[in-house]
A and B are shown apart, each in its own frame.
Chain A
Amino acid sequence: MKRPWIISAIALICVAVFLITFYSNHNHEKTLQIPPARPGRIVSLAPNLTEIVFALGLDDKIVAASSDSDYPAQAALKEKVGTFWQPNTEAIIAAKPDLVLTLAFEQQKTVAETLKRLRINVLTLKIEKIDELLAAIRQIGTATGKLEPADKLVADITEQMNNLKLKLAPAQKPKVLWVIQTEPLRVAGRNTFVNELIQLAGGENAISPTIQQYPSLGSEELLVSAPHVIIQSAMGQDNLPDQQLSAEAFWTKWPTLPAVKNKKIYVINPDTVLRLGPRFADGIELIAQHLHPDIFAESLDAGSQLER
């Protein structure tokens, strides 16, 4: 009665679906345009990518950037194309780019796919680790015809990191507690990128390995960890001095901690330090200065470091 209808309808649907997919996959082998050797209109979808582009001397070639691209100052003046988390595809297209730089996480991958379908050149970079950063700088250099400046930048950063390593080699590693939230207390664990930073800056994470990336810490664990230095991520960029004061007030609850006793509590702007870009080595040096003030005593300029 009704059965033959239903079966044939389902069969028809399956056939249609199969054909559509097959046809589209077939078409997918379109030839992309050959990217220009020296693109004149670059759009960057992430703040660290913007910094790299500027560092390679392409200030006049970059026509638009994500709205959270804030460094250098000229970057904030460029056309905005949405945020790092939600790029505005329309604005990107309207900027008529011949090269779009994106990062390799899902949201930006979706935008990259759309742009590629519209035959816009996209370079996707995976930057989650330091060596990936250095590779990315060279990739951008190659794509923009600025391989030499790129190599130089990579060399500079590598040299800075090596110098830092040498400087810090003899020093004892202080225990560092990196606080990302105070209410409730949550810190960066040993599996995080932050942990790598701490180690590069010549320190050691105060807490033992945990399953969670950013575990909450109770008072007991806090006392056991006994950090020598507490670094706290600031909320936003304003009022760093105020945040510093309220942080110091907060930690007086645990006067026995070495960090509190020795007044080694620092509020820093996470963007500067956690952003994997050309200023990365500067960021590590900043942390190292807090961890080993004795080694950096000559170059330490108290006021300005905190404000950066």
Chain B
Amino acid sequence: MQETVSSNRAAPFCSELVRAHSYAALATLIISAVFGIMVAALFVYPDLTAGSEVATWGRLRYAHTQGIMIGWLGNAFLAFLYYAVPVLTGRAVSNITLGWVIFGLWNFVAVIPGWVLVLSGVSQPLEWAEFPLIVDAVVICALLLSAVQFLPAFFRQGLDSLYVSSWYIIGGLVFTVLAYPTGNIVPDIAAGASSAAFGGLWIHNAVGLFVTPLALAIVYYVIPASTGRPIYSHFLSMLGFWGLFFFYPLNGTHHYIFSVIPMAAQLGAIAASAFLGLVVLIVVSNLTLSMRGAGLIAKDPALRFIAASVLFYFIVSMQGASQAQMSLNQFVHFSDWVVGHSHLAMLGFATFAAIGGIVHVWQRMPNSRYNPRAIEWSFWLLFIGISLMVIDLTVAGIVQAELWQQAGPWIESVRASKPYWMLRYLSAIPVTAGFVALIYGLLTGPRGTVMGDKMSLEKATPTQPQLSASAQSPALSMAYLVTGVAGIGFFAFSMVLLGLWPAKVLDRQITETSPEFILPLSPSEKRGQALYAREGCGYCHTQQIRYLDNDMRRFGAPTLAWETQFDSPHLWGTRRVGPDLSREGGVRSQDWHFAHLYDPRSVVPSSIMPSYRSMFAGSALAPKQEARDLVAYIGSLGRARAMAWPDNDKAALGSSALDKWGQMSLNASQLNTHPASQRPLTETNYSNDVNIGSPDLQLWLENCAGCHGELGAGDGTASQWLSPMPANLRAHEYSADYVLSVLVNGKEGTSMPAWRDHSPEDLASLVALVLGLSEPDLDGEADAAMIAQGQKTYVENCVQCHGVSGQGDGFAVDRLAVQATNFRQSRPSLEYAIKVLNEGVGGTPMAPWNDRLSAAEIEAVSHFVRGFFDPQGNAQ
């Protein structure tokens, strides 16, 4: 390879390294974008990658975010640094060979293996830290080497005359070296709420201490280079620099507002977020004033990207400061609003800055010129595409949040989101086209020895400014020390305040509120937990019920610190596409979960959950060990608190470690709002006197038809995988009370879940529809002798379970996994009753009786049990 740089004297920057990192940036950008498009496509076509073990939603999502941050932005920043640092310092970077080592490490030992590993299922479920620890070690190594590569040039120059871009480059490199290990390793070591506290800090530090400083370094560089004027105020830029580095690390906890993390830490993060908004206002004002005269749409393509980046930075920062405030946070958090926010930060602000930097540099490299027309196309396509995506996601977030505030079922928010997810998917067209135009533009510009092979920046280095006597004073010459201590101090300060101190408080709370004995996860459940983490389940399902009325109404008592104390790393999540799963254990049957994993839309027709068919051997009836483990883990969620409840909660009420928020959880009226076994009808708001509504066929199709079939014959798609099979509603007559009771409470021992998140009106409509499905037996009359024979047979064989009066309350009923049929409220058709007596009911204690009863006895007892039915549904 021909090196452009042979010595510092000949040329201060290595154009090959700039070019290599630029090409790597563009390649990883396209690959990461493809991952992102597949993620977005799965929202619209959830079965797109069904059956694939590699291209699952979670793994693609991991590859997408890490690829954008480390692959695209990391390479783009490095490319810019190789050009800018020599210009800013008048000195070459430390070592060109070291540059190639960093390039190799970054791309061939970190990014590419990182992708391979996460797509193979080796990852960690931490946002913006999904690459596994082995890759983290390589990234940390590369970051340290980058610091060695770039920082000495600044220090040799002296801090006295450092331009703001230099400050941001130094800050970005130093803080990232500090923040990366604490964000990628500490949450793996800590557990539960403490793990979340540290993880939350990294979510913000990744953007605030790595992406933002280096993006702003580009912005501050390109503006004067493009306009030919100095920035408006270097003082304001420095105020902004120190403000950003003080407040950014203090923001992270705002990802877990209303969680169990101590409220003092949450409020600190909220205050810091507000101050950060003010600082950004100063930064953006300064940048905007610096671009005055450049026109609304700058002529220089690089400056145009930079101007758009500043606009996006302003919007995303104001959005961030406001959505950290409690009033807005409780509304939009967990929704697509936040996804739009992060895309605005990474794809809007940071990507536009990075492209602006590359475009600027490209025009100043030997043998590299861009095609202005293609770059202009790229700008507009990206601007339109990203704006469309962010606006769409923001509106989707508001719609979702609004629906979550209401009493309707969760799936309504999924249904309402579908048009927005389609639009988000379509927005990938202009975005991808913009990226392609960018690459085309960079590759098809005029070539030739436009600038010669080498440039000497040393010859171009202006005379250093004459410093005043005071500026040369010993105190000011200690700027290295002052800035070093202050910078590292800020970071340590945030770690203590928002990481270590909350961990200490949480430890005390766990000690004082935890039950003495907690049933640990079984080996199968542990494997399931690892699968849950690997597949990114936590990126759509949270495991934290917040201390908010809406969360409590929908899911149950807020999550206490001890409940997740053994989860390392935590699986709290920050997004809810599907419902929270903190208390999912016991809500649905194992069969239901198998059917749901194999074919989600068979049990939830409107679901957009991807299928995980690779975990099955061709059928939901043949789960592989992975599916068994995952379902076992889901079954364990919320178990520890349910087992200790309510005694442990009552005992913990006197704990000194709990503030009013903790008390709120212990005083919650319901631990879990869903499990059938804990929700008798009498404790609900639903009246026993059912006012039957109008049948709502759509409601039926969206919620019931998957199992019971469109016509209610118990032959829906999922019925083949459920045991016992869903009830054949056509073969029964029911009392209205009974149907409502089953809808509200579910049916224990079967796959029929409770539907209490539906409104009473909806349930009344379903009751009406179910009652209308019955096909009464017109030919089922029997004479007195047959009834007497049936009664005799019943008393001799059936009362043990079904009770003397047919109410399903025989003395053996407590030993039954599935409740015996109450014939007072449910009357089978004669044909169905005979069938059951002959064949039994699979998955229930009802065995076949044809080996013990004659055909005549079976017919007689079938007639007899039908006589119990009381249409008024009065079980007494």
User: Do the two chains belong together in a single complex?
Assistant: no
Spell out B's residues near A (CB within 8 Å). Answer: none
Spell out A's residues near B (CB within 8 Å). Answer: none
